[in-house]
Amino acid sequence: MKLLIMGPPGAGKGTQAKILAEKFNLVHLSTGDILRSEIDKGSSMGLEAQSYMNAGNLVPDKVLLSMMDSTLENLKDKGLILDGFPRTIPQAEGLSTIFKSLNQKIDYVINIYVEKDVLINRLVERAEKSGRADDTKEVIVNRQKVYHKLTAPVIEFYNNEIINIDGDGSIEEVTSRILNIIE
């Protein structure tokens, strides 16, 4: 099974992706986590990504696409949940091309939606604990703006296949809303 999970920063997609990965035995591919581990390793990709991430901007599409191209090819026989990719229309188009060439398809596209005020509050709370360099109020607001401008159009791209899930509620409630549809 190949799942794609989308939603604005703070919607809880990473949390839900982790739960679904365990339940269905899927590889959890979080592009944010992969990029952060490249930064920790000090790789050239990490160095290129770092300044974009710290400012709450997106890392250029070509970096993401070349990273995901090789990753998806290596994992082509595995169940997957994609978390944080595609985040732009060119990435969504690139993903279609990659999957076509591997003769694969996405089974479910899950979109978690949450109201803006709830999101900002959640992220400010998380910022107090996480120590992530992109978890400051100013950067949080920028990430929401970037989401609306560049990532929200991806929902339209998957228009016919999208499963909209209300992300307001406890972690367990949101999980069971997802499971009600995909199980």
Residues lying near ligand ADP in the complex (CB under 6 A) = 9, 14, 31-32, 35, 52-53, 56-59, 64, 84-85, 87, 91, 134, 143
| Whether 137 contacts 117, CB under 8 Å | no
Q: Spell out the residues 6+ positions from residue 6 whose beta carbon is closer than 8 angstroms to its own.
A: 13, 109, 110, 111, 112, 151, 154, 155
Of 103 and 113, which has the nearer Cβ to ligand ADP?
113
Least Å distance between CB 11 and ligand ADP?
A: 8
d(CA 63, CA 136): 25
Least Å distance between CB 134 and ligand ADP?
A: 6
Catalytic annotation, residues: 13, 87, 126, 132, 143
Of 53 and 72, which has the nearer Cβ to ligand ADP?
53
Of 131 and 180, which has the nearer Cβ to ligand ADP?
131
d(CA 180, CA 109): 14
| Whether 114 contacts 8, CB under 8 Å | yes
Burial label, 104 (beta-carbon count in 10 A; 0-12, 13-18, 19+): middle
Of 85 and 157, which has the nearer Cβ to ligand ADP?
85
Least Å distance between CB 37 and ligand ADP?
A: 11
Least Å distance between CB 52 and ligand ADP?
A: 5
